[in-house]
Amino acid sequence: MTPTVEVVIPLYNEERDITPSITTLREYLQTHCPYQWRIVIADNASTDRTPELGRALAARWPEVKYVRLEKKGRGRALRRVWLDSEADLLSYMDVDLSTNLRAFLPLLEPLARGEREIAIGSRLKRGASVTRQWKREIISRLYNLIIAIMFPRRKFSDAQCGFKALTRKAAQELLPLVVDQGWFFDSELLLRAEQRGYTIHEVAVEWIEDLDSRVKIWSTAWDDLKGLWRVRWTPHPAPMNIES
């Protein structure tokens, strides 16, 4: 049976990018994706025209769905949509499409074949091509180095690339273990996965920085460090119900 795929686009105040990006992604999936698919726009409490535009896209195309959350947080949005989904394969990517879409099918294929449960795009794997400012490059490499030091058994190379996929089964097991609702969500998900014996498939990607990114680098970095400390000292958390 052909697997079903859900592509989640979490966003906040992206009135400039939402329409061209969803249009580009839809055209790519129509042309290249051999699986049944749906795009879900997960709006993190936007205050600009993003809700209006998101609803218009969903009304225009039946394969596009719009979901509104009244609280911010990328992790909150992904948790909500993934736990509600009935798709076999769950994925997400950033609305700016910084990661070249050519990597999307290589991301999904090991999951569709049943060889892996989680796959991520990596900007640090051999063969990747990255264009970004030196400050963000250094911070990213330092962060992944800190993860390697604190979690010496970890095998993935890039925790924060906004280009990931996992099976619904893995999502149902792992999401109740992930506390963070914001940007650290990605790192915590991967670390919890490896603690539970999952092997993470990595795909080298072509990635170009969006200079209009909404990420606040220094506050996000500090929150990430606090999150790493928490995960390091709670390697076997009890599953919990977290407000979506």
pLDDT at 133 (0 to 100): 83
- From the candidates 88, 158, 180, 186, give the one annotated as an active-site residue: 186
Task: List the structure tokens of 69.
Answer: 């959350």
Question: Which domains, and CATH codes, for the chain?
Answer: 4-232 (3.90.550.10)
E strands present in 94-209: 118-122, 129-131, 163-167, 200-204, 206-208
Alpha carbons 59 and 1: distance in angstroms, whole number: 29
Q: Average pLDDT, whole number, for the chain?
A: 93
| Max Cα distance, the chain (Å) | 48
CA nearest 82: which of 200, 155, 186?
A: 186
Are 53 and 28 in contact by the 8 Å Cβ rule? The answer is no
Give residue-wise pLDDT tens across range 80-121: 999 999 999 999 999 999 999 999 999 999 999 999 999 999
Alpha carbons 111 and 118: distance in angstroms, whole number: 7
Give residue-wise pLDDT tens across range 202-225: 999 999 987 665 566 666 777 888
Give residue-wise pLDDT tens across range 27-40: 999 999 999 999 99
Mean pLDDT of 6-11: 98
pLDDT at 243 (0 to 100): 55
Band of residue 138 on the pLDDT scale cut at 50, 70, 90: confident
Assess whether 43 carries a catalytic annotation: no
